Amino acid sequence: MDYSGKKTIEDIDVKGKKVLVRCDFNVPLSDGEIVDDKRIRESIPTIKYLSDNGAGVILCSHLGRPKDEESKKKCTLAPVAVRLSRLMGKEVKFTTDIIGDEAHAMAADLKPGEIMLIENVRFYKEETKNDPAFAKALASLADIFVNDAFGTAHRAHASTAGVADYLPAVCGYLIKKEITVMGGALANPKRPFVAILGGAKVSDKIGVITNLIDKVDTLIVGGAMAYTFNAARGWRIGDSKFEPDKVELAKEILAKAQAKGLKFLLPVDNVAADKFDVNANIKVFEHGIDDGWMGLDIGPKTQKIFADAVADAGTVIWNGPMGVSEMPPFAHGTIAVAKAIAESNSVSIIGGGDSAAAVEQLGFADKMTHISTGGGASLEFLEGLELPGIACLDDK
C-alpha cells in the first residue's frame, strides 16, 4: 500500500483550531506506575508542533483491554497525563470523561497551545466496534483529526478510523515516519534487500512471506516457523514446535523462491533442549534434530550464515526472534542477528514486537535506522494490507 500521498499536520492550518489526536499511549504499567514511556515520548513531536502552532490539543488513546469496572481502574490514562506533563514541561489537563459534558466543557475552554487528555476510549465498547454514533460524539470535540497511533493503525476502531468520517483527517509525525521509512523500503529499497522473519508460526507470517518474495533478494527464516520449512525439506525436526498443516504450503513457498532465484536461508544447525526449560540439557544438532529434542534457537553455523547475509545488505527488514529469546540459553541467535544488523551499513528497519524489544534491550536501538512502534500494524504493512487508520486520512 502506498500512503506517501497522505496529508500530514504540516499540510493544514491548525491555528485557533481544536485538534483531536489519536496517540498510542498503550504503555506497560506496574501498580499504576509507567514501566516504559517510549510510546509517550514518541508522540511528543506531533503534540508539540500542534501546541506551538496555536491549536487546542485534545489527546485520546486506549490502554490495555478494560472489560469491567475492576480492570478499568488498572487501565486509566491518568498516569499518562502526569508523565506527559513532565515530559512536555507544561500541564496536560486530564478528564475522566470521554464524550460527556465534562470532556466537551474542557475542550470548549481549551485555549490555543493548551493540551488535554480524555480517558481511555476503550471504556466504551463502541470504540472497538467502530460505532458511528460514538465516533461522531468523539469527533464533535474538535475541528480536525490527527492520527499518530501507528500501533493501532491496522484496527478500524472509532478513534483510529471512524472519526475521519466527520472531520478533516491527517497524520502526525510518527505515522508519517513509519510510512516514509517502511513504505520507501518496500517500494524502492537500497539493494541487496534482505528480510529476516522469525517467530512461532508460518500462519502468522504467510502473507508477509508471500508479499516479500517478490521484493527481496534474500529471505531469511528463523524461529519456530523454520521447523515447518525444515519439515517441508524432509529434515528431521525431533519434538520441535511446528505446524503440520502448513508443511505443503511451506513446500510451495520454497518452490516459488527457487523459481525466482531468490536466496532463501533456513537454519543448518539448531540449539535443541530435552525439555522446554531454562535448565534443560542442551545439544547442537546439524541438519536434522533427533527425537526427544526440541529446537529452541538457531545454532552457531546458522548465526554466521545469517550474519554474513546481512553484512553487505543495502536494506534489512527484521520481524520476529530467532529462538525463545526470553530464555537466556536460547537468545544467542536473536542477539547475533541484532548485532549483525547493528554493525551493517544497511537501512535497517525493525518491525516492532519482540524484535524491537530485543534491539532496545541489547542497546542497539541507536544503530538502527528505524524501529517500528507497531507490531501487528507493521506486519500488516509488510504484508501489503490496507491499514484502516491510515487509509481513512485525506490525500494531498
Enumerate the active-site residues: 39, 201, 353, 376
Nine cell digits for residue 97: 470523561
With a CB cutoff of 8 Å and minimum separation 6, the contacts of 128 are: 122, 155, 157, 158
Nearest C-alpha neighbor of 195 from the set 173, 211, 174: 211
**Residues written for the chain:** 396
Phi and psi of 316, rounded to 5°? -130, 130
Cβ(105)–Cβ(18) under 8 Å?
A: no
**In sequence order, which ranges of the chain are alpha helices (DSSP H)?**
38-52, 69-74, 78-88, 101-109, 132-139, 173-187, 202-213, 225-232, 247-260, 300-311, 332-343, 353-361, 375-383, 388-391
Instruction: Give Cα separations from 255 to 217, 260, 263, 267 (angstroms).
Output: 15, 9, 12, 17
H helices then E strands: how many in the chain?
Answer: 14, 17
Q: Residue 95: how many CB atoms within 10 A of its CB?
A: 19
CA distance linking residue 102 with residue 29, whole number of Å: 26
**Cis bond before residue 112 (omega within 30° of 0):** no
> Per DSSP, what are the bridge partners of residue 20?
58, 145
Q: Look at the block and give the residue holding cell 538502527.
A: 368
Q: Which residues have C-beta within 8 Å of that of residue 150, sequence separation ≥ 6?
A: 24, 174, 175, 178, 372, 373, 374, 377, 378, 389
Separation between Cα atoms, residue 111 and residue 103, nearest integer Å: 14
For residue 329, what is the DSSP state? Answer: G
CB count within 10 Å of CB 48 equals 16
CA-to-CA distance for 303 and 311, rounded, in angstroms?
A: 12
